Structure 1
């Protein structure tokens, strides 16, 4: 009987501890990991900001039974991922804050709790210091609060593993193009408006630039800049509408299919492409930049061909300036 009484007292004490100790424990629990990655913050940021990219590095992707669903925006604020798996359990992640290349905040929802995922990207020279922190909020009384301190020891290795995988993946990627927003002065000159399928763009521009140069030289007009191609649309399966455009200064007049043409001053997203005239990857990089900053552009773009292939045979040195005018 005495033994039973002792056991009973121990059980009561343990029960008391389980009920009393959590009263003084925090309702939140946080874990944080940091890693230096030798890559552009643009590259690293985009791996986190687009939720479908998490499959490339996330430590939570090793559940073969996990089923993912994506909704909302493709990336940045409003992007949502939900999952269900035997190991991963059920959950949902929503991007609620996205500051390009510096900060991302995720809202986390689990079966019996919720939390916040915080990311910071701090560029240091040729590297970026990446910080990933997960905070679980509103831990239920009493057992979740008791388990709160355990989360740090369980989750920290996972976060470090994820950042190591993110580092390995990002350091293998090519450096992104340097893109920024500039103010462009107005440009005036003469142009020939035409249309052609993608495969014929080069031949069409060569022909129309030739016609423009013959017309300009015959009238001794003053050329003010490199040749420009203005793309009024992009339809890979149909016809591309293009204006071959030569900037001029002073007085000039058009005739027939050679018309006066103007690009008004304003802000534009700008980058330089080096290489042949197949600048598709650079345009994709600009499209990503526009999505990162949610920038709306006008219904045309232009390319400025700085290098003359007749004087520079090495196509890797050819420079093309690319402009996407911004809607004001």
Structure 2
């Protein structure tokens, strides 16, 4: 009997010692470099609605009940979930936001057991702004029982893999979706092949560009014959708003040079592309979006800038269906 009491007493003593001297806090985090600028990544971090798209836990219960409260992306915004045994139930509330740098939140698990932690997502530019470094983690303090369990539980091993999987999903999400600019026009980064064009180049007043295209494109198409390799383009070498003129070419993609017309060889490589739908008068918005994107990502274009007129206005009267591919080749 005394031996049993000694054993019980010893276990109680160990339990008390663990509760007194076990780890008082915990923190788990993972960091990933994403080959996209902060402006492209931040929208996926800034709101709970976007967080859901790369959450490693919600895929365990696609039928979990989700609700949102408060102003999205602002302090006080709240996200609640209730699902199966794998995800449990809980809520997360934004406590601090530093735009394009940091989001902090309070994370409460309600089932299968109650606990509270402080979650955070940090983002910073990398590679001179061309990439981003994202750190995702959570931390908290252990109560008496938490200190006891903290001795035996490998929190990093239990949760770290989930953070890694979530950051990998975030990376895929960002890289597979073109970044929306402030204007709402999406800019895609692409790799283009070398191309050859035949056409006419001149300094043209902006109010006479339509006539310049009309006069020259028909002649180029007719002379090129079976050498034509695509739809007509405008190649813009300068754009002078003050003088109201542009050094430009009305041209057609061809498979070989065309007699009596100038040949324009454009080297391929990295480029920015916008698929713009609408009347030609609205193309200024697409060029504005390109300027915005290049400034945000420290890019510089090489001439010429190209507009490729995919839709023939003669066969499609609805201007909202006119597709113009706006291309900026990057140095």
Q: Which TM-score tier does this pair reach, normalised by the shorter chain?
A: 0.5 to 0.7
Matches of 1:99 and 1:54, distance apart in 2: 17
**CA shift for structure 1 position 65:** 5.3
Partner of 1:71: 69
TM-score (norm 1): 0.53
Matches of 1:127 and 1:21, distance apart in 2: 44
Partner of 2:73: helix, strand, or coil?
Answer: coil
Partner of 1:316: 325
Does 2:52 match 1:55?
yes
Partner of 2:147: 145
Matches of 2:162 and 2:107, distance apart in 1: 16
Structure 1 residues 72 and 15, CA, compared in 2 at 3 Å: closer, same or farther?
same
Partner of 2:109: 110
Partner of 2:177: 173
TM-score (norm 2): 0.52
- Note if contact 1:39-1:175 (Cα within 8 Å) is conserved in structure 2: no
Matches of 1:128 and 1:105, distance apart in 2: 18
Does 2:79 match 1:81?
yes
1:78-114: CA deviation from partner (whole Å, max 9, x where unpaired) = 3210112232222111122222222111121223332
Matches of 1:22 and 1:48, distance apart in 2: 37
Partner of 2:133: helix, strand, or coil?
Answer: strand
**CA shift for structure 1 position 318:** 8.6
Calculate the aligned-residue CA RMSD, in Å. Answer: 3.7
Aligned residues: 205
- Note if contact 1:113-1:136 (Cα within 8 Å) is conserved in structure 2: no
Matches of 2:307 and 2:51, distance apart in 1: 43
Segments of 5+ residues of structure 2 without an aligned counterpart are: 184-206, 209-240, 245-272, 293-305, 310-323
Matches of 1:161 and 1:318, distance apart in 2: 35
Matches of 1:225 and 1:153, distance apart in 2: 65
Partner of 2:92: 93
Structure 1 residues 276 and 43, CA, compared in 2 at 3 Å: closer, same or farther?
closer
Matches of 2:62 and 2:182, distance apart in 1: 38
1:248-288: CA deviation from partner (whole Å, max 9, x where unpaired) = xxxxxxxxxxxxxxxxxxxxxxxxx96646479x79x99xx
Matches of 1:225 and 1:146, distance apart in 2: 77
Partner of 2:169: helix, strand, or coil?
Answer: helix
Matches of 1:32 and 1:318, distance apart in 2: 40
